[in-house]
Amino acid sequence: MSTKSAIKIALQPEYLTLSEELRTIISFDREGRPIVAFLHGTNYVRGLSGDVLLKRVVSPGHKERHKLSAAERRAVLGDLLNHAHRMIDRLEPQATAEARAWFDLIRHWDVERLEAERERFLTVYKPISILPPDQYRALVLQATEGCSWNRCHFCTFYRDRAFRIHTPASFREHIQQVKTFVGAGLGLRKAIFLGDANALIIPQPRLRDLLQVVHEEFTIGPDADFKGIYAFLDIFGAERKTLADYRELAAAGVRRIYLGLESGDETVFRLLNKPGSPAEAIEAVRTIKATGIAVGIILLVGAGGERLAADHVQHSLATIAAMHPGPEDIIYLSPLMIPPDTPYLAQMQAIDSPPLSEAALAAQLEQLKQGVRAIVPAGAKVVLYHIEEFVY
């Protein structure tokens, strides 16, 4: 359906998109909340958290990515809603009853209501710091809060909270709050991500109880709305679970486990203050994969700086090869973002290994990408994992 001014509407089961001559494109979830938009040559993503991420190409090969400040966010949301309401006004006289129902949902929201959602989100969730890229649209359920290690020298994601494992009762309450908050927008979420940083470190008897709660609250399976359960697991947690434990997780619907290898080089690994070792990571991945669960392995591009760059690449590729990745596995290449308040920079200075320049980082990214692609079989994915592109 379109108007003479080339304003168009696309109705899908779980979202609606309004567009005008491809210059303005705005999509909404089943609650009428804006989720993605293209305005004035810039892409925006609004998360359930209320944060808005800006993404745009500033020059060939270079992107600008950042979360908007409060003032920027309010201005963009106001502009977005004004465009949406104007398009709705033009479309409404010839719209179907289904479309008009969507329009009513969209009109329910203004900037103040959208901003109020930010406070409501924080009554349901602790901040969701990061997810793997293929899980950005998963439904996060925080079986744990924070990180049980929380001492990696390069990471500040979970410094603001103590580690906590939910009881079955408190987890069920959390899940029910999530359902109420997300509402009809649940239809956009096709997987369950068990948060936070390394939720699968939960002792198996307690984890079994929490997974049972998930299955009581949701239908999970190949033909269900939620296709599977996904989660992070740190290497020091991976080595504690047995083959039988992972088989139980596979039977419970766990489809992929994500491990932060970061580097296959022992020296770099220790400098990052990661628990475990590359050798333990190989053993853990082989055990996990023996049960039919896929893995997502994360490598940090630029880890170890200039002095250790060659060793980082060489030994990381050797470690990935020893893991025998398969067609269902994903290798993530994540450019290292170094927060200024971490011990990592001081360590690099102590060993005279400055961070890679932008050009050297891009070169190492390409080197790792080509190296990993030569290792993995057809079907396995090698994916850029840029942490600045995440918003939940």
Q: What pLDDT digit, counting tens, does each position of 362-375 carry?
A: 999 999 999 999 99
Predicted confidence at residue 3, as pLDDT, reads: 43
Q: Put the strands of the sheet holding 52-59 in their side by side order.
A: 7-11, 15-20, 24-29, 34-39, 42-46, 52-59, 62-67
Predicted confidence at residue 230, as pLDDT, reads: 98
Task: Report the C-alpha gap between 15 and 111 in whole angstroms.
Answer: 20
- CB-count burial class (<10 Å; 0-12, 13-18, 19+) for 309: buried
Predicted confidence at residue 2, as pLDDT, reads: 42
Answer for the pair 270, 308: CB distance below 8 angstroms, yes or no: no
Predicted confidence at residue 1, as pLDDT, reads: 43
SS3 call for 222: coil
SS3 call for 146: coil
User: What is each CA distance from 49 to 285, 309, 324, in whole angstroms?
Assistant: 33, 37, 37
Q: String of b and e for 35-46 (b: at least 16 CB within 10 Å)?
A: bbbbeeeebbbb
β strands within 68-157, DSSP E: 139-142, 144-145
Between vectors from CA 52 to CA 47 and to CA 53, what angle results, nearest 5°?
105
- What is this structure's pTM? 0.93
Task: Report the C-alpha gap between 28 and 169 in whole angstroms.
Answer: 33
pLDDT lower than 70: segments of the chain:
1-5
Q: Cβ atoms within 10 A of the Cβ of 109, count?
A: 18
Predicted confidence at residue 199, as pLDDT, reads: 93
**CA count, 13 A, side-chain hemisphere, 199:** 28
